Amino acid sequence: MPLSSRHLLGLQGVPKEDIQLILDTALTFREVLERPIKKVPTLQGKTIVNLFYESSTRTRISFELAEKRLSADAINFSVSGSSVSKGETFKDTIKNIEAMKVDMVVVRHAAAGTPLFLTKISNANIINAGDGIHEHPTQALLDMYSIREKFGKIAGLKVCIVGDIAHSRVALSNIFGLITMGAKVSVCGPSTMIPKYIEDLGVQVIYNIDEAIQENDILNVLRIQLERKAREYFPSIREYAKYFGIDRARLEKNKKSIVIMHPGPINRGVELSSDIADGEHQIILQQVTNGVAVRMAVLYLLGTVN
């Protein structure tokens, strides 16, 4: 049974069967990653371009590794933010890449909707590796994979996403994916960072982190942007850490059994204290390993279907 789309642009509207298929396929690739020779010939002869308009070492390396493990030819094309406005247009860049006969494009871009735009000007399979504050579907898929790995299921679990929900593509993709898979989703963060109409998505809003800890099985803690512009949304990093940061004392005060996730990189002492970031509650490094398997699954399913 193939996926219902030849692109992965986001998780909004993606049917449950597709997510299930990706997670199941990822499980087989996860086993490959445990072998001494971590390579399969599945995508031999396929050319994949990693088109990164925004620097993201982690996501790019994860994709690159997934591509290599599938024996695809991977090409990295990175465009630094400043040259975008001066250089050739996005459309021209894509047309050029298209002329080189590539099969798949993994795209990271600061502007929302760019992967969809790409599907209109290219024949390649398009995979969204993060577009603006819109979606980051492979991150949410690896989060869901990690949840399933830990709990053996997703349906019925209570997941709270903590942090700057309004400016997070990780949050939005997780919300769409988790709701489709039957989880109960809430968000927690300063009210300036919660979108005004978020409840219309079927998400509960919690402003008190202790309440979020008490009521959930999993906290998916987002990285807080430390730049000045992001900080206009809350008074200070100190205040954020005090009222929304998670440390051992806070967990002990509430309850013990909770799973902590984080998409990385962590601001230690801000959203997570070090004892939590390295402690027994977290599955952060499993997430990283699972990320490669999930991306292998996505590339494999999209690359061998059409």
Partner 1 sequence: MELLLKNAALLNPYEGIDIAETDIVISNGVIKSIDKVKNQDSKYFRVIDLSGKIIVPGFFDMHVHLREPGREDEETVKTGCLSAANGGFTGIACMPNTDPAIDSAEVVHFIKKQAENNLVDVFPVAAATIGRKGEVLSPMAELYEAGVVGFSDDGTAIKTAGILKRVFEYSRMYNLPVIEHCEDDSLSGGAMNESINSTILGLPPIPSISEELIVMRDIIVAEYAKANLHIAHISTQKSVEYVRTAKRNGINVTSEVTPHHFTLTDDMLKSYDTNYKMNPPLRTAKDVQEIINGLKDGTIDCIASDHAPHSLEEKESEFEYAPNGIVGLETSIGVTLTELYHKKILTLNQVVEKMSSNPRKILNLPLPSFRIGSSANFTILDVNEVWTVDIYKFKSKSVNSPFNKRLLTGRAVGVINNSKMFYSGEMIQIS
Contact set with partner 1 (CB under 8 A): 12, 85, 89-91, 109-114, 116-117, 131-135, 169, 172, 195-198, 200-201
Shortest spacing between CB 272 and partner 1, in angstroms: 25
Closest distance between partner 1 and the C-beta of residue 150, in Å? 28
Closer residue to partner 1, CB minimum distance, 90 or 234: 90
**Nearest CB to partner 1, comparing residues 111 and 288:** 111
In sequence order, the β-bridge partners of residue 204 are: 186
Shortest Å distance, C-beta 200 to partner 1: 5
- Helix, strand, coil tally for the chain in percent (to 5): 45, 15, 40
Secondary structure E strands in the chain? 47-52, 73-78, 104-109, 125-131, 158-162, 184-188, 204-206, 218-221, 259-261
Nearest to 49 by CA among 104, 100, 89, 8: 104
Centroid of chain to Cα 40: 24
Q: How far is the CB of 110 from partner 1 (least distance, A)?
A: 8
**Three-class DSSP category at 239:** helix
Task: Output 140 or 277, the one with its CB closest to partner 1.
Answer: 140
Closest distance of CB 79 from partner 1, Å: 12
CB of 195 to partner 1, least distance (A): 4
Nearer to partner 1, 82 or 85 (CB): 85
Write the DSSP symbol of residue 236: -
Phi and psi at 9, nearest 5°, equal -100, -25
Judged by beta carbon, residue 61 or residue 201, the one nearer partner 1 is: 201
Of 231 and 250, the one with the shorter C-beta distance to partner 1 is 231
Taking the C-alpha atoms of residue 180 and residue 176, their distance in angstroms, rounded to an integer, is: 6
